[in-house]
């Protein structure tokens, strides 16, 4: 509870009358703001927003997702803009398919909703490299996200391109389009101190650069308390109802850009979720304290297709959101929040136009009252004690407030909604076995080549950093060397220290061990007893990334891959870190793109064997199941790798990484209907370890 709220009696807060107008030279709806709310076409607005990221679903899903959000009482769809998706190579842009942001914004408009565009262009978002394209890494003299001219040039170029694209399609509200808000940067306050004197000038520059683009709508910065005027500073987090101190000017509205509806899943991080009651409590408290814009992050999380996840993040993203990964309504979460929206909207007149009073009702209890001169009145009775119910007296009547709850009284008399009381039935995901791929005759396999030092053309006398070597063109980097062993004793110990993420070690072509870090501890050491030939031995170490880091200061300095390699035998211990190394980026199957139908014949596929060799590609052809269903590929029998259907990657899998309860972090992997053909679908799997494809099935996902 904030300072000033514990004083008994009524405290009145008058509506701030200063209006900030964002200039626009084209006709459309004027978007401005004052200390109470955003103002659209002269009308104050109380808005509920939903984060739905266009590349984490398919264009065929967008309309349904947006429609379901609207049914849930949502007014605004919010999305990040994904720089490395749109400009994977410098100056080469992609706005097709899942990257068709214009189509997505127009879909929002077609449903009669507003849009909030978080350009960033650094976004974090559990997205590979925080949305930054890796080619930035090789720009001379660049330092990301600070007063660095090389970074600012490229950031401004991309931001301007996106703004101009939106303008050319008349998508800003000032042009008659749906976009009412834009965001520049993202949670910069969390790293600003690391840049010392280079931080504050960058904040000022970013704000000035954005405003100068003249979108005709306000700009915001999340988690940036010193956001320069007229940029609005906003709150991110689970508890902004309690923690947000308010905007840095009385003339700015209270905006909540990320109300986390659950926790994203990451390997090594124990799975957590968040109840509908807790979300509703924080939303109601935020509105009670003066909030008039709340965005749910995520409302639909979706799927991290391909290699788009950040380090150690699962392919499924925010599956426990109000709309699950497959786009189904999740109850009671969506239903409870829908009821909350309806009740708060019924109080919108006193909230937006009345005077706010606060009333202390106890040590951890507070009343927030909004009242108009006309007599309209709405009250929020808050109990922040999470251990017990409390009876309070308000307007000469008694009200029982449950633990961590807000009771909403649209007429200051009758409780219409309590955040802790859920009146919506639960639903459950139903998984029905569809098509089994359990016959060995159905499968073919190709064992990828394990390169030796002699096979490589890239050489160095030191251990190269993984990301800077692969340039994010592949997860895989081979470190190879030839080791001369002169001893009658064939036993030795191979010790490899890695900065992450995964390592598969081969000696003379045989897998001798694997190791990995996790989300909480990236570094690890692999120590394995090995058998060496007397004479020359081929050591091939496969370093694997599971997404690139997405956060932190000086992201361009982060390092992955092998840091030290030693071999200990009975005679001595040799540090081979400065040995002569040979490198190969990627696997042969990747280079030949054998996951594509037209490239599949580039290698000699063989009939399936039961040997379950590491680094093996498997393929199978199948006909689709019933149309208009949602499908999940059950990969519980596999261990780690990546999957393609008809040439489109549905993401990385890691079924062998278990939670503390002994369960995989993810077993079913979303297969969008649009990825499938009626007949002759090609499923290709790259298995790094020794999983068996005979346990795979394409299952039907529904809810009951």
Q: Which residues contact 33 (CB under 8 A, 6 or more apart)?
A: 19, 20, 39, 218, 232, 251, 252, 253
- Within a domain: 534: yes
**Residue 198 and residue 53 in one domain:** yes
pLDDT top residue among 81 and 6: 81
pLDDT tens-digit series, residues 174-203: 999 999 999 999 999 999 999 999 999 999
Measured distance CA(103)–CA(117) in Å, rounded = 14
The token pair at 503 is 């390592």
- Within a domain: 366: no
- Within a domain: 359: no
- As a whole number, the mean pLDDT across the chain is 95
pLDDT tens-digit series, residues 287-297: 999 999 999 99
Which DSSP string do the residues of 25-84 spell out, in sequence order? SS-S--EEE-SS-EEETTEEE-EEEEEE-GGGS-HHHHHHHHHHHHHTT--EEEEE--HH
What range defines the domain where residue 525 resides?
449-586
**Residue 577 and residue 644 in one domain:** no
User: In b/e form, how buried is each residue of 46-83, taking b as 16+ CB within 10 angstroms?
Assistant: bbbbbbbbbbbbbbebbeebbebbbebbbbbbbbbbbb
pLDDT tens-digit series, residues 304-357: 999 999 999 999 999 999 999 999 999 999 999 999 999 999 999 999 999 999
**Number of folded domains that form the chain:** 3
What is the arithmetic mean of pLDDT over 489-493? 93
- Within a domain: 399: no
What is the arithmetic mean of pLDDT over 228-241? 98
Q: Is the pLDDT of residue 12 over 90?
A: no
**Residue 570 and residue 603 in one domain:** no
Position 391 confidence tier, pLDDT thresholds 50, 70, 90: very high
Whole-model pTM: value is 0.96
Question: What pLDDT does 25 receive?
Answer: 40
**Residue 556 and residue 477 in one domain:** yes
pLDDT top residue among 329 and 8: 329
- Within a domain: 417: no
The Cα-based distances of 9 to 4, 358, 360 in angstroms read 11, 8, 6
Select which of 187, 325, 642, 688 is catalytic.
187
Q: Is the pLDDT of residue 11 over 50?
A: no
**Residue 469 and residue 570 in one domain:** yes
State which H helix or E strand residue 379 sits in: strand 377-383
Three-state SS letters, 657-669: CECCCCCECCCEE
Q: Is the pLDDT of residue 26 over 60?
A: no
**Residue 607 and residue 482 in one domain:** no
- Within a domain: 412: no
- Within a domain: 125: yes
Mark which of 556, 586, 616 sits at the end of a domain.
586
**Residue 614 and residue 541 in one domain:** no
Q: Which residues contact 558 (CB under 8 A, 6 or more apart)?
A: 467, 549, 552
Q: Is the pLDDT of residue 2 over 50?
A: no
Mark which of 354, 371, 397 sits at the end of a domain.
354
**Residue 226 and residue 339 in one domain:** yes
Residue percentage of the chain with pLDDT more than 90? 93
- Within a domain: 222: yes
**Residue 69 and residue 110 in one domain:** yes
Select which of 87, 124, 185, 258 is catalytic.
258
Mark which of 354, 388, 413 sits at the end of a domain.
354
Question: What pLDDT does 3 receive?
Answer: 30
Based on its alpha-carbon atoms, the radius of gyration of the chain, rounded to whole angstroms, reads 28
Question: What pLDDT does 22 receive?
Answer: 58
What is the arithmetic mean of pLDDT over 260-280? 97
Q: What are phi and psi of 310, to 5 degrees?
A: -80, 180
The token pair at 585 is 């980026």
Return the CATH number at 121: 3.20.20.80
The Cα-based distances of 180 to 22, 258, 293 in angstroms read 11, 17, 12
The token pair at 559 is 């390092």
Q: Is 439 a catalytic residue?
A: no
**Residue 533 and residue 442 in one domain:** no
**Residue 594 and residue 581 in one domain:** no
Question: What pLDDT does 396 receive?
Answer: 96
Position 18 confidence tier, pLDDT thresholds 50, 70, 90: low
Return the CATH number at 492: 2.60.120.260
Contact in structure between 259 and 296 (CB atoms under 8 Å): yes
Q: Is 258 a catalytic residue?
A: yes
**Residue 278 and residue 347 in one domain:** yes
Point out the least confidently predicted range of 339-343, 484-488, 551-555, 686-690.
Answer: 484-488
What is the arithmetic mean of pLDDT over 115-127? 98
């Amino acid at each position: 509870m904030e300072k000033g709220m514990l004083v008994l009696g009524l405290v009145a807060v008058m509506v701030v009358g200063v209006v900030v107008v964002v200039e626009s030279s084209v006709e459309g709806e004027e978007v401005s703001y004052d200390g109470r709310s955003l103002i659209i076409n002269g009308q104050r607005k109380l808005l509920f927003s939903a984060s739905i990221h266009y590349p984490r679903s398919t264009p065929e899903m967008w309309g349904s997702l947006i429609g379901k959000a609207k049914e849930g009482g949502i007014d605004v769809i919010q999305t990040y803009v994904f720089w490395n998706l749109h400009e994977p190579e410098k100056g080469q842009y992609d706005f097709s398919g899942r990257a068709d942001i214009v189509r997505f914004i127009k879909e929002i408009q077609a449903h009669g909703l507003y849009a909030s565009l978080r350009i960033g262009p650094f976004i974090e978002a559990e997205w590979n490299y925080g949305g930054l394209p890796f080619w930035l890494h090789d720009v001379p003299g660049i330092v990301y996200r600070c007063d660095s001219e090389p970074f600012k040039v490229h950031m401004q170029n991309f931001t301007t391109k996106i703004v101009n694209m939106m303008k050319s399609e008349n998508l800003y509200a000032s042009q008659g389009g749906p976009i009412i808000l834009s965001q520049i940067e993202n949670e910069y306050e969390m790293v600003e101190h690391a840049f010392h004197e280079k931080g504050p000038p960058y904040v000022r520059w970013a704000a000035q650069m954005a405003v100068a683009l003249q979108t005709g709508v306000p700009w915001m910065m999340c988690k940036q308390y010193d956001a320069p005027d007229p940029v609005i500073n906003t709150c991110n987090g689970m508890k902004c109802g309690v923690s947000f101190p308010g905007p840095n000017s009385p003339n700015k509205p209270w905006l909540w850009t990320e109300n986390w509806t659950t926790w994203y899943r990451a390997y090594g991080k124990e799975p957590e979720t968040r109840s509908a009651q807790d979300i509703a409590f924080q939303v109601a408290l935020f509105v009670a304290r003066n909030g008039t814009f709340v965005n749910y992050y995520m409302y639909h999380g979706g799927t991290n297709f391909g290699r788009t996840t950040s380090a150690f993040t699962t392919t499924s993203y925010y599956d426990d959101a109000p709309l699950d990964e497959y786009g189904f309504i999740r109850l009671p979460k969506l239903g409870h929040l829908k009821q909350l929206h309806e009740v708060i909207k019924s109080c919108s007149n006193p909230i937006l136009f009345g005077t706010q009073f606060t009333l202390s009702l106890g040590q951890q209890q507070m009343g927030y009252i909004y009242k108009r001169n006309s007599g309209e009145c709405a009250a929020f009775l808050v109990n922040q004690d999470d251990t017990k119910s409390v009876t309070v007296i308000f307007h000469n009547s008694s009200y029982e407030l449950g633990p961590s709850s807000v009771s909403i009284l649209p007429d200051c008399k009758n409780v219409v909604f309590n955040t802790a009381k859920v009146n919506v039935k639960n639903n459950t995901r139903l998984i029905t076995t569809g098509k089994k791929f359990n016959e060995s005759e159905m499968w073919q396999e190709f064992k990828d080549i394990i390169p030796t030092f002699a096979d490589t053309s890239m050489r160095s006398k030191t251990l190269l950093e993984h990301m800077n070597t692969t340039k994010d063109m592949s997860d895989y980097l081979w470190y190879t060397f030839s080791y001369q062993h002169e001893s009658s004793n064939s036993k030795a110990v191979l010790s490899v220290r890695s900065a992450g993420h995964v390592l598969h070690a081969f000696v003379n072509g045989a897998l001798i061990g694997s190791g990995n870090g996790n989300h909480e501890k990236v570094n690890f050491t692999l120590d394995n007893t090995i058998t060496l030939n007397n004479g020359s031995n081929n050591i091939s170490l496969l370093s694997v990334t599971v997404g690139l880091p997405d956060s932190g200061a000086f992201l361009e300095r982060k390092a992955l891959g092998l840091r030290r390699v030693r071999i200990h035998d009975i005679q001595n211990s040799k540090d081979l870190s400065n040995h002569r190394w040979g490198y190969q980026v990627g696997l042969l199957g990747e280079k030949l793109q054998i996951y594509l139908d037209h490239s599949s014949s580039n290698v000699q596929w063989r009939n399936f064997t039961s040997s379950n060799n590491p680094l093996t590609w498997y393929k199978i052809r199948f006909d689709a199941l019933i149309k208009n269903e949602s499908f999940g590929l059950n990969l519980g029998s596999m261990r780690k790798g990546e999957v393609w259907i008809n040439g489109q990657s549905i993401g990385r899998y890691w079924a062998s990484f278990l939670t503390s309860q002994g369960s995989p972090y993810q077993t079913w992997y979303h297969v969008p209907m649009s990825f499938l053909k009626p007949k002759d679908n090609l499923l290709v799997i790259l298995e790094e370890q020794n999983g068996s494809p005979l346990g795979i099935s394409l299952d039907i996902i529904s809810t009951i």
